[in-house]
Amino acid sequence: MEYKINISNSKTGKSYQQEVKDEKAERLNGARLGESFDGSILGLKGYTLEITGGSDKSGFPMKKGVRGSGRVRILLRRGTGYRPEGRVRKKKTVRGERIDGDIVQINTKVIKEGKKSIDELLGASNPEDSGEKTEEEQKE
């Protein structure tokens, strides 16, 4: 079992992607949209993250308020999974709000920050942010 977790930090405006496998991924099974969990699962000590959305292996989005973890076809006016032009309702397939083995991507946002920044904890360094030149720029 493997999840791609997108972490969004509204204070800095940055987002990060982290992959979680095996027993760490098992801890997220059964969690629902809107629930929060400890960031130490992802290596973010002191952080608390809230689940805001996700999608399954076929790309169907998770929708809050749809019980369970299976796919259902529901009549939507607007919202997750449907952006109409005008006042049109349409049946769309969405995934339930519980995380299970069919979910591939989980979207989260930072609720509580730890002492260290996410960049330090994940070892993420983006040359564009730090002012360093990439290899291609150095050759030019």
Domain contains 59: yes
Output DSSP code: residue 116.
S
Domain contains 139: no
- CB of 51 within 8 A of CB of 32? yes
**H/E run at residue 50:** strand 48-56
Q: Tokens in use for 71?
A: 């796919």
pLDDT of residue 130: 47
Domain contains 103: yes
Q: Which are the contacts of 69, defined by CB distance < 8 A and separation ≥ 6?
A: 95, 96, 97, 98, 99, 100, 102, 103
At 71-102, the pLDDT tens digits run 999 998 888 878 888 889 999 999 999 999 99
Domain contains 47: yes
- Whole domain around residue 76: which residue ranges? 2-121
Ranges in the chain, pLDDT < 50:
127, 130
pLDDT of residue 127: 47
pLDDT of residue 138: 61
Query: What's the total number of domains in the chain?
Result: 1
Domain contains 138: no
Amino acid letter, residue 52: T
Domain contains 15: yes
pLDDT of residue 111: 94
Domain contains 36: yes
Please state whether 131 falls in left (phi above 0), alpha (psi between -120 and 50) or beta. left
- Tokens 């920044």 locate to 117
Amino acid letter, residue 82: Y
Domain contains 49: yes
Beta bridge partners of 54: 106
